Chains A and B, each alone.
Chain A
Amino acid sequence: MSNLVEMQQRSLDFRRLSSNLLQSNMSNADVNLLRFARFIDDDPYIHDLLHSIIDGVDYDYKECFGLIHLSGWREIRIPVDESCHLKAQYDYIQFILSLKEDRVFREASQFLSKSGNTSDIIRSFLGRAFMPLISFITDAMSKEIINLQEHASLNVGNVYGNAIVQNGNGTVYATANVTAEATELVSRIDRILDQMNSVTGINQDELDSVKDDLESLKEQALSENPKPSRVKKVVAGIRRFGTEVLFRTAATLASNAISATDWSMLLSQADRFMTGLHM
């Protein structure tokens, strides 16, 4: 499950970084490209994803980005093979970063743009040159998230009923199972309760109320006989807090103190816990 949260956070980080790159201007284009390049090199998932495709591909990026049209402008000629295209983009980024001052603009100004404005020239160039790489990585992460979600839902067992077990002596025992699902829910509640200590700017009564709800949910998850009506009530309170207070108050709270993905996972785990009780 932690892989899923990690992947969702990675996806958000990557999309934010990519968006910043595609909206670069003269003053920050070089920095944004450097940050982007470092992210795709340093992040183990993206690094492995890219290198599993481009390593061993024999293709010169100049065939894609280095051709000069009759008009004198450089042009982008996209290769049919996607792995060649990805390699060309990756190598071209490395080439641009090896240049000295105004690296991005120096390259961008060699390509024809509809506008004469420097920011427009840079944005048009970055979009045309690197959007396919960004889309490829975003899509790969989305597919991985779908896989992880599917895997997570397959692992959920309906185990909150009483299992009747008969031993060799003919004695019947009723046992209540606490599953891994409940354990994960409890650990997530603990984490969110910890994060709540650093939340500021939210009405203290609202905060205390949702903390009570989280504590109650934890209590029910640990209980041998969780009460469906009680669980339903506290989950509704937690959901209402997310909708009406947490993500309506300020973006900084959501991103810095409690992440949207953590909150999302909490709600989906609580939903599954609830479904298990009803079945």
Chain B
Amino acid sequence: MDGTILLPLYPDKEGYLSYECPFCGSRFKLCIDEMINNNQNCTVSDLFCPICGLVAEKSMFISRELRNAAEDKAYNYMADKLNTEFGKLARVLNHKNGLIRMTVKPMINRPEKEVMETEEVETRISCKVCNRSVKLLDCAGVSIAFCPYCGVNI
């Protein structure tokens, strides 16, 4: 792949984006500002699930919607490239005196959806240790939550 595919993110009004635990499937929101500052200044690359407390690489927590949107975008990028290249090949082969004829049925692009955050029933809690916050969706109770960044009980 010769380029970078950019995927626009639309956080909620307070700048939070949804994540999904790869272990228990719980959904929660993290503040993009806190994530980006975190990325720039330290080597922390893991997140803890605030519900089950298990830890994995940050990329594992990408939400299903965002993952699907990224896959659709990548698929369309690939389809465009293939359509262009096979189109060129067909034009070369299909000249007047050619012995071989080539028909190209272009790949159809998938519809690209924008991942928009919705306002849901959510509880925002902050960690006293690292001072960063998390919004719990479908709230399972604040008393059993873990900080997604440092993993302590909050």
Contacts and interface: CB of A to CB of B under 8 A. Distances in A.
A142 B56 CA distance: 19
Interface string B38-58: 100111111010001111100
A143 to B, nearest CB: 8
Interface in B103-154: 128-131, 143-144, 146, 149-153
Interface string B7-42: 000000000000000011000000000000110011
A141 to B, nearest CB: 9
Interface stretch (A13-21, A56-64, A110-118, A226-234): A13-21
Interface hub of A239, A247, A263 (most chain B Cβ within 10 A): A247
A275 interface: no
Given A248-B42, A267-B128, A138 B23 contact: no
A251 interface: yes
Interface residues of B, number: 29
A8 interface: yes
A247 B128 CA distance: 12
A260 B23 contact: no
Contacts of B43: 250-252
A21 B131 CA distance: 29
A125 B19 CA distance: 24
Contacts of A252: 43
Contacts of B130: 242-243, 247, 260
A131 B130 CA distance: 28
Interface residues of A, number: 35
A20 to B, nearest CB: 9
A39 B144 CA distance: 23
Given A251-B42, A254-B150, A138 B56 contact: no
Contacts, number: 80
A146 B149 CA distance: 20
A127 B136 CA distance: 23
Contact of A248 (B38, B55, B56, B144): B38
Given A22-B54, A138-B52, A249-B42, A12 B143 contact: no
B48 A242 contact: no
Nearest to B37: A248
Contacts of B45: 251
A16 B128 contact: no
Interface in A14-64: 15-16, 18-19, 22-23
Contact of B150 (A11, A19, A249, A260): A260
B2 to A, nearest CB: 27
Contacts of B37: 248
A19 B54 CA distance: 5
A16 B55 contact: yes
A267 to B, nearest CB: 6
A254 B127 CA distance: 15
A40 to B, nearest CB: 15
Contacts of B53: 11, 15, 138, 142
Contacts of A261: 152
Nearest to A16: B55
A8 B153 contact: yes
Interface string A148-175: 0100000000000000000000000000
Given A15-B53, A251-B42, A242 B129 contact: yes
Interface of A: 8, 11-12, 15-16, 18-19, 22-23, 127, 131, 134-135, 138-139, 142, 145-146, 149, 239, 242-243, 247-252, 254, 260-261, 263-264, 267-268
6 tightest Cβ-Cβ pairs between the two chains A and B: A243-B131, A260-B150, A264-B129, A19-B54, A247-B130, A19-B55
11 contacts: A12-B152, A15-B48, A131-B24, A135-B24, A142-B53, A146-B143, A146-B144, A242-B131, A250-B43, A251-B46, A260-B152
